[in-house]
Structure 1
């Protein structure tokens, strides 16, 4: 492995600190949150159906969605693929401890470029990074670790944990958006947001 640079970490341990702080949260109102709830339920729902559900005109809803996209609150629309049905059924979490002084962003980007890596998260504690990988089987996992992940510059030590079962996503985004909508209304109305196509109640206007 190449000799690491002389740059030091904030706590003098492991990889260098990540980039700038996160930007402040954008201001949204109850209508924005209601639109988000409908899109999280079904990203292919028509603007006309959302407009009918929230009690607005279609052009007004279109403008609100565009504003949410411009502010990067809505970062995109994607298909939710069941990779296990396509042969990639094994999930493992790899705790990575970095070489002291190595630039963290370089290691993170190198890890993210690996085909098997689903996600890389900077964490606190004894390790620096938590890497989620998805592979076909244990032999594939061995190849991923030995031939690729362990050769990433900045990786000093790893600990691998196999996922015994993957119950699938808990639709966290939808639940959080519903909770924020309820908070903005001062009640629990988010859990009774009308489905697109249904007439909104007086409370949801």
Structure 2
């Protein structure tokens, strides 16, 4: 990956709907050259897909929580989380805690119901999200970054 690929990645992360013509102008290449580079980034698995960012509050998911689990049945907890519509992310981690789950739901009652339903799989510790920030552009490490 060179500097142009890095710039292409940054532009696509900021606006995945950018036209190839506009992207080409931004990185100072022809449209066919940019299309080829984007295709290679996709084939290499660097670009995994394109997604719409959804405003959770506007779809009635006002309550977000991070729930830490000391699991007694990791596989069942993972299956439960993967099937549950309120779960946004589920991480199996090493240490005293075995899972970290992020959910977005519409009420304290549905949060309580999620916790109750998850109890057979482990002991939860619930943290309500008051505010958050999210990095929207991730810059790849280059050889130069690694030398510093």
Supply the RMSD in Å over aligned alpha carbons. Answer: 2.2
Contact 2:88 2:103 in 1 (8 A): yes
Q: In structure 1, how many angstroms separate the alpha carbons of the residues matched to 2:123 and 2:7?
A: 45
Q: Aligned residue for 1:139?
A: 109
Cα deviation code 1:71-111 (max 9, x no counterpart): 22111111111111221111111111122xx5x45532431
Secondary structure of the 1:39 match is helix
Rate the CA distance shift 1:72–1:93 in 2: closer, same or farther, 3 A. Answer: same
Structure 1: gaps spanning 5 or more residues: 1-27, 187-205
CA apart distance, 1:41: 1.5
Q: Aligned residue for 2:8?
A: 35
Secondary structure of the 1:74 match is coil
Q: Aligned residue for 1:156?
A: 122
Q: In structure 1, how many angstroms separate the alpha carbons of the residues matched to 2:23 and 2:125?
A: 46
Residues 88-127 of structure 1 mapped to structure 2, 5 A cutoff: 88-99=61-72, 102=73, 104-105=74-75, 107-127=77-97
**Structure 1 runs, 4 residues or longer, greater than 4 Å off:** none
CA apart distance, 1:124: 3.1
CA apart distance, 1:122: 2.0
Count, aligned residues = 145
CA apart distance, 1:166: 2.2
Secondary structure of the 2:114 match is helix
Structure showing greater radius of gyration is: 1
Secondary structure of the 2:40 match is helix
Q: Higher relative CO (CA 8 A, sep ≥ 6), structure 1 or 2?
A: 1
Residues 45-56 of structure 1 mapped to structure 2, 5 A cutoff: 45-56=18-29
Q: In structure 1, how many angstroms separate the alpha carbons of the residues matched to 2:90 and 2:123?
A: 16
Asked whether 1:79 is paired with 2:52, we answer yes
Q: Aligned residue for 1:169?
A: 134
Contact 1:33 1:180 in 2 (8 A): no
> Higher helix proportion, which one?
2
Structure 2: gaps spanning 5 or more residues: none
Rate the CA distance shift 1:105–1:31 in 2: closer, same or farther, 3 A. Answer: farther
> Higher strand proportion, which one?
2
Q: In structure 2, how many angstroms separate the alpha carbons of the residues matched to 1:34 and 1:118?
A: 29
